[in-house]
Amino acid sequence: MSRPVSFAPGGNANLFARLASGFPADRSAIFLETDDGTRMTFAELLDRAGRIASLLVASGVQPGDRVAVQVEKSVGGIGLYLGVLQAGAVYVPLNPAYTPAELAHFIADAEPKVVVCDPAHEGALAPIAGRAWLLTLGTAGEGTLVAQAARLPSEREAVARVGDDLAAILYTSGTTGRSKGAMLTNDNLWSNATTLHRFWGFRPDDVLIHALPLFHTHGLFVALNLMLLNGGRMIFLPKFDPDRVIRLLPRATVMMGVPTFYTRMLASERLTREAAAGMRLFVSGSAPLLAATHEAFEARTGQRILERYGMTETGMSTSNPLDGECRAGTVGPALPGVALRVAGSEGEILAPDETGVLEVRGPNVFKGYWRLPAKTAEEMRPGGWFVTGDVARIAADGYVTIVGRAKDFIITGGLNVYPKEVETALDALPGVTESAVVGVPHPDFGEAVVAVLTVTSDPGDVVAALRDRLAAFKLPKHVAVVDELPRNAMGKVQKNLLREQFAALFG
């Protein structure tokens, strides 16, 4: 049975206030536990958030001011996230892997009032932080943030915000272009959390394994917001480790992961039907889940992975259903309240099963790119449709298949090649584990198709093996075998790096 969620209509639309309105009345209830048995109650969570909000407000942070955060994943980071929201400020999480040079760009762009970093990086960040107030937060809670906040009151009202005010700016992962700040409102995040909460049938006794990063929409706005809304409870891990997660499955009911979590779990013999018997929901997203992984996971555990699709700009837009058909290779139909359509190259709306660029409309769609009105206008169609840049088709029954990124298209000799089609054919060859197909400059063809493979055994002449499956213009002009495909923290293959690596191949 799903727990009722209060919308507090007409009340404070601050996301913190909305989430906190659903916290258990008994504040001694456990919100999270870590692998080593440390537990945090709702009372402690509210205490941490409240003191941080007090510190921000007392130091002059105004509603709408940005607070940029580059810290390693830790329990303290959750208090910081909530404290920033409670103070009415805009949370700007940054990947801890960013170098000082990359950070300089984000800080200049977001112009935060406050920057919070790991104590070890304070020296490197001081010259970059500019006029922002630099505070530190370490994984054990050490640093100036908590020390300064400790002196201040923890009890305070959330600063009043309306639904359309910003709650967060999330920089896109930028695997196909320059990273842009996606402006997300209180309403965007609240609507997505409440929709998923109902759609995935969350129950008060659910326990989620949280092994995703906290700077990305998946770990922050899907996994964390849902468990805040659900009134607990999480097993909070600093990072994903397959054996550790498998060992924890009997204590949990839900897991959210990127496809690499599932392939790595499958590589462990400890993943068995018994180990997963108490789980009710495995969710995958942020990158395509191979149908083979879906099938192997079901064969091993008896559980079907539920694949959903979303992006930084929209939160979640589609999901396979909890009780209906979980169709491998698809990301399911549009979530309730979300509308989808597919457009052709002239912007014309295509019929079911035709392939084009996916557009999304709904309360989940972001407010625009931070300080990039022209870029925002380019990606929006009249009527509030956002152009995702993902190439997809929608079946007559609404199930969506993602074919790839529009920007990953290869045009070779004037003909379009969808990398996904070539990758699917390559993945089916004996000996091939995974593949990534990119286009690189070619003097004759404009672009040439290059296939990069990981293998378990010698796959032989893969081009010959594909010859009767794919038209000649789609066949790779070069095949490279690598130990591992380059991926970002969310498991997405970084095709930009592969394009760079092979850029001079035909030059």
Q: How, if at all, do strands 254-257 and 166-171 pair? A: unpaired
Site string for ligand AMP, 212-231 (x = CB under 6 A): -----x--------------
* 309 near ligand AMP (CB under 6 A): yes
Phi-psi group of 356: left, alpha or beta (phi > 0 → left; psi -120 to 50 → alpha; rest → beta): beta
| Strands lying side by side in the sheet with 306-311 | 39-41, 30-34, 234-236, 208-210, 254-257, 281-284, 306-311, 315-319
Beta carbon of residue 404, minimum distance to ligand AMP (angstroms, whole number): 8
How far apart CA 420 and CA 288 sit, in angstroms, is: 10
Residue 172 interacts with ligand AMP (CB under 6 A): yes or no: yes
The H-or-E segment that residue 79 falls in is helix 75-86
Q: Shortest distance, CB of residue 316 to ligand AMP, whole angstroms?
A: 9
> Would you give the binding string for ligand AMP spanning residues 313-332, x where CB under 6 A is met?
------------------x-
Candidate ranges 58-66, 140-148, 220-228, 304-312; the one touching ligand AMP (CB under 6 A): 304-312
| 169 near ligand AMP (CB under 6 A) | no
Q: Which is nearer to ligand AMP, 232 or 288 (CB)?
A: 288
H or E element: which one contains 58? helix 42-58
184 binds ligand AMP (CB under 6 A): no
Q: How far is the CB of 170 from ligand AMP (least distance, A)?
A: 8
The smaller minimum CB distance to ligand AMP, of residues 136 and 293, is found at: 293
Burial grade of 145 (CB within 10 A; 0-12, 13-18, 19 or more) = buried
Taking the least distance from each CB to ligand AMP, the nearer of 92 and 158 is 92
Beta carbon nearer to ligand AMP, 216 or 442: 216
Rounded distance between C-alpha atoms, residue 147 and residue 504, angstroms: 53
Give the C-alpha separation, 76 to 369, whole Å.
Answer: 28
Q: How far is CA 28 from the centre of its chain?
A: 31
Is 173 a binding residue for ligand AMP by CB under 6 A? The answer is yes
Q: Using CA atoms, how far apart are residues 306 and 331, in angstroms rounded to an integer?
A: 8
Quick one: which segment of 28-36, 133-141, 242-250, 280-288 binds ligand AMP (CB under 6 A)?
280-288
Query: What minimum distance in Å lies between the beta carbon of 172 and ligand AMP?
Result: 5
Q: Based on CB atoms, which residue is closest to ligand AMP, 144 or 172?
A: 172
Please state the closest distance from residue 257 (CB atom) to ligand AMP, in A: 11
Neighbours of 39 (CB within 10 A): 12
| Distances from the Cα of 42 to the Cα of 74, 82, 385, 467, angstroms | 16, 12, 38, 60
Helix (H) or strand (E) holding 196: helix 186-199
- Between 53 and 358, CB nearer to ligand AMP: 358
Site residues for ligand AMP per CB under 6 A: 172-173, 217, 285-288, 307, 309-312, 331, 388, 390, 402, 405, 490
